[in-house]
Amino acid sequence: MLIGELARISGMSKDGIRHYEEIGLIRSTERRAGSRVYRDYDASAIKRIEHVRQAQQLGLSLKEIGPILDTYGEREVTAAETVSFLEERLDIVRGKLAELRKIEDFILQKLDRYRTSETKS
């Protein structure tokens, strides 16, 4: 399929698709039509875009997603692999939440000090 059809099916912009291809998340082949060259995408591009979106929902960056897709390729990931990966992500997210709570506590302490000093003035 051509980029326009992939964009329509996936809900992505053509520029977004080009970016994904540029960084290696999806692949295409060249198709010649006279003097013009088009990029041809197969159905696996749709599946990879779906996987990228799911990985983004887990908090992964595009830079992190590429190696994961390359590791697992087109094969089905087992339930055990999925559980292990999700548990690792959950640990990371919980760590980030703990750090954010520390920052929140610090900000609240500062606000409390400033608000207390303002009422004394």
Average confidence score pLDDT of the chain: 92
pTM over 0.75: no
Q: What is the 3-state secondary structure (H, E, C) of the chain?
A: CCHHHHHHHHCCCHHHHHHHHHCCCCCCEEEEECCEEEEECCHHHHHHHHHHHHHHHCCCCHHHHHHHHHHHCCCCCCHHHHHHHHHHHHHHHHHHHHHHHHHHHHHHHHHHHHHHHHHHC
105 pLDDT band (50/70/90 cuts)? very high
117 pLDDT band (50/70/90 cuts)? confident
28-78 pLDDT, tens digit each: 999 888 899 999 999 999 999 999 999 999 999 999 999 988 887 777 888
User: pLDDT at position 119, please?
Assistant: 76
Q: What is the mean pLDDT of residues 93-117?
A: 95
Beta bridge partners of 38: 31
88 pLDDT band (50/70/90 cuts)? very high
